[in-house]
Amino acid sequence: MRRQRFVMGCAPLHQPLPAYRRIMRDDRPRLPSSPGFWRSPLRGPWFTSMLGLVLLVGITVLFVTGLVSYAAYNPGLDPVNDQTPGKGFLGFYLFAWPTNPHWLYRATQGLHVTLGITLIPVLLAKLWSVVPRLFALPPARSLAHALERISLLLLVGGGLFEFTTGVLNVQLDYVFPGSFYPLHFYGAWVFFAAFVAHAVLKVPTALRNARRRRAGQEPGAHAAAGEPLTAAGPGGGDLVSPRPDPPTVSRRGALWFVGGASLLLFATTVGQSIGGALRRTALLAPHGGADPGSGPNGFQINKTAAYAGIDAAETGEEAWRLVVTGRTGTVRLGRADLLRMPLHSSALPIACVEGWSTADQWWRGVRLRDLAALVGHDGDPPDVFVESLQRHGAFRRAALRANQVADPRSLLALYVNGEELSPDHGYPARIIVPAAPGVLNTKWVARLTFGDL
């Protein structure tokens, strides 16, 4: 189609057209599937390939740290830890989560969440860079092409689903009561399968495109400079607009922009995984939860006693009893009984699945293995099933593995940082286990049942 020079017949040739007239005279195709609809001069194989290579590394790390996080929940140990149907199949890789180093889950989950948030601009830019392809017609030219389009659907849909559910869980704190984990877990497998297929097909081309740019041979590499285009070629030439708009930024500049956005997200997120004073720099971390205040108990609170429905009357010296069951029967211990047992200290963090964690806190209490020994499990303690006073909510019960019970740093904690636990941190007693996700550190403990689960 030939461009019309005059619209409404009144623009003198020597004057630039006002913006609205430019729009009026615009003869761009109206359908996103038409060639020439997408006009950004930035699109091209180099831009797409650079973003793709970043995602190749980043998403692989996200997948591995995600699987590791799932293993850390002890999902295979007891149905209360995880009720994902089909985990026997997808959880083929599950292993006994170690207790060393004691900051293990802090590191893996901090990496998972921080990296996931940091990659959001890269993911969006990558999708934007290939959007003309998503609209390409005909939808399928052959069976092979149809299969490729379906795998792209799973890739794009799976990616958006994983990033969205992840961010919602971190930001909105369990909008999916109990069901986030299976959704995010199934989604991860679907997404990663499509991702691997995509990577196998595209990585060689992406590497070639990245190298070509250096040699200045990319198809359409000079589009941004207004030079003539060598049109579609192998390796992504179809991403180059046949009729690009004038450039406002170079491709390299656009990449820096994406990198800058990632850096900004990183800088305003990472503080939550470092904790301490840096937590205040985590502007994007969810706020508005319970204010932990200052002093020995002044660290992050996940669920308050009030939220969990813990009544002061049931935690008082008179009312509260810890019920411990094992091979030789059941014992009931009041707080005074526990205080007569040997007390031990360990410096351990709380590290939540949401990515935040605290620096090491100084916990003091009774070793879990000493409690196991009280009910007939000397030497080699078994798994334990922990129940809270809390009556409702997904995290009122958890199962710990034998290696966690046996670790001398695993405590039923009564004190933190030299003071009694505050009601919000689990008074009168809570579990603290090295290297474990926060969700296994049950607060307001009422009952421990030792035995192979």
- Taking the C-alpha atoms of residue 102 and residue 200, their distance in angstroms, rounded to an integer, is 37
| Residue range at the interface with Mo ion (CB under 5 A); choices 9-17, 19-27, 95-103, 352-360 | 352-360
Nearer to ligand MTE, 125 or 389 (CB): 389
Q: Is the dihedral of CA 193, 198, 200, 201 positive or negative?
A: positive
Whether 97 and 74 have beta carbons less than 8 Å apart is answered as: yes
Can you tell me the distance from the alpha carbon of 274 to that of 282, in angstroms, rounded to the nearest whole number? 10
Q: Which stretch binds Mo ion (CB under 5 A): 14-22, 170-178, 293-301, 351-359?
A: 351-359
Which one among 438, 440, 449, 453 touches Mo ion, defined by CB under 5 A? Answer: 438
Cβ distance 289 to 371 under 8 Å? no
Contact 348, 363 (CB under 8 A): yes
Q: How far is the CB of 352 from ligand MTE (least distance, A)?
A: 3
Distance of CA 411 to the CA centre of its chain: 28
Distance set, CA 180 to CA 6, 76, 78, 174, 269 (Å):
57, 17, 18, 7, 21
Shortest spacing between CB 261 and ligand MTE, in angstroms: 29
Helix axis angle, 104-118 to 120-129, nearest 10°: 40
Closest by CA to 306, choosing from 390, 244, 384, 238, is: 390
Report, in Å, the least distance between residue 393 CB and Mo ion.
12
Nearer to Mo ion, 75 or 438 (CB): 438
Among Mo ion, ligand MTE, none, the one that 301 touches (CB under a kind-dependent 5 to 8 A) is: ligand MTE
For residue 434, what are the CA distances in angstroms to 100, 109, 184, 298, 425? Answer: 7, 14, 25, 20, 17
Residue 442 binds which entry of Mo ion, ligand MTE, none, with Cβ cut-offs from 5 to 8 Å by kind?
ligand MTE
Residue nearest to ligand MTE (CB): 438
Q: How far is CA 297 from the centre of its chain?
A: 27
Shorter beta-carbon distance to Mo ion: residue 60 or 304: 304
Q: Which does 308 bind (CB under 5 to 8 A by kind): Mo ion, ligand MTE, none?
A: ligand MTE
Give the integer Cα–Cα distance in Å for 185 and 63: 10
Output the smallest distance, CB 447 to Mo ion, in A: 21
Q: Nearest distance from residue 108's CB to Mo ion, in Å?
A: 14
Task: Closer to Mo ion by CB, 125 or 170: give it.
Answer: 170
Structure tokens at 267: 């800088």
106 vs 303 by CB, closer to ligand MTE: 303
Give burial (CB, 10 Å; 0-12/13-18/19+) of 379: exposed
**What minimum distance in Å lies between the beta carbon of 424 and ligand MTE?**
6
CA distances from 315 to 216, 305, 385, 419 (A): 72, 11, 20, 16
Token pair, residue 43, equals 């699109």
364 within 8 A of 411, measured Cβ to Cβ: yes
What is the edge-to-edge ordering of all strands in the sheet holding 322-326? 329-333, 322-326, 445-450, 384-388, 397-400
Q: Report if residue 352 touches Mo ion, rule: CB under 5 A.
A: yes
Binds 364: which of ligand MTE, Mo ion, none (CB < 5-8 Å by kind): none
HSE-CB of 45 using CA atoms within 13 angstroms: 28
Choose between 218 and 354: whose C-beta lies nearer to ligand MTE: 354
Report the nearest approach of ligand MTE to the CB of residue 177 (Å).
12
Based on CB atoms, which residue is closest to Mo ion, 254 or 352?
352
Nearer residue to ligand MTE within complex by CB, 182 or 393:
393
Q: Which residues bind ligand MTE (CB under 6 A)?
A: 300-303, 308, 350, 352, 388, 390, 393, 395-396, 425, 438-439, 441-444
Binding mask 103-122 for Mo ion (x = CB under 5 A): --------------------
Minimum distance from residue 349 beta carbon to Mo ion (Å): 12
Residue 396: contacted member of Mo ion, ligand MTE, none (CB under 5 to 8 Å, by partner type): ligand MTE
In angstroms, give the least distance from the CB of 97 to Mo ion.
15
> Cβ closer to ligand MTE: 125 or 421?
421
Minimum distance, C-beta of residue 91 to ligand MTE, in the bound complex (Å): 20
Question: Where does this chain touch Mo ion (CB under 5 A) — which range of 24-32, 266-274, 305-313, 437-445?
Answer: 437-445
Chain positions contacting Mo ion, by CB under 5 A: 352, 438-439
